[in-house]
């Protein structure tokens, strides 16, 4: 199911840099750079919700390691949960749930 299905949508503008954290509704997201592109993915490890934005990305293996317990999350699992976004130069606009708090 798409992360935004049946939700009221708003668009937020944020700086285009890896690790930039923002909220969509009540959930935390962050911009993850992978293969040169910035993806707006959930900032919560599936294990105990650790901040993946502070983890390390392994481009070759396609994983991000959570700083809490060093568990690796496959980017293939994260990408389907990404929010629709467009980078234009140094700025990214992300389609989020309403009541987003930047």
Binding stretches for another protein (CB under 8 A): 2-5, 9-11, 37-40, 80, 82-89, 93, 95
Q: CB-wise, 42 or 50, nearer to another protein?
A: 42
SS3 36: coil
Q: Going along 25-78, which residue ranges are E strands? A: 27-34, 37-42, 56-58, 63-65, 72-74
CB of residue 1 to another protein, shortest distance in Å = 10
Residue 69 CB, shortest distance to another protein, in Å, is 27
As a whole number of angstroms, the distance between CA 70 and CA 59 comes to 16
User: Least distance from C-beta 36 to another protein, angstroms?
Assistant: 8
């Amino acid at each position: 199911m798409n992360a935004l299905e049946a939700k009221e949508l708003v668009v937020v503008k944020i700086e285009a840099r890896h690790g930039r954290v923002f909220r969509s509704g009540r959930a935390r997201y962050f911009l993850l750079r992978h293969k040169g592109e910035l993806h707006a993915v959930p900032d919560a490890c599936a294990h105990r919700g650790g901040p993946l934005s502070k983890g390390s990305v392994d481009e070759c293996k396609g994983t991000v390691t959570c700083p809490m317990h060093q568990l690796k999350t496959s980017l293939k699992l994260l990408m389907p949960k990404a929010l629709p976004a467009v980078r234009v130069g140094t700025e990214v606009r992300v389609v989020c749930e309403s009541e987003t708090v930047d």
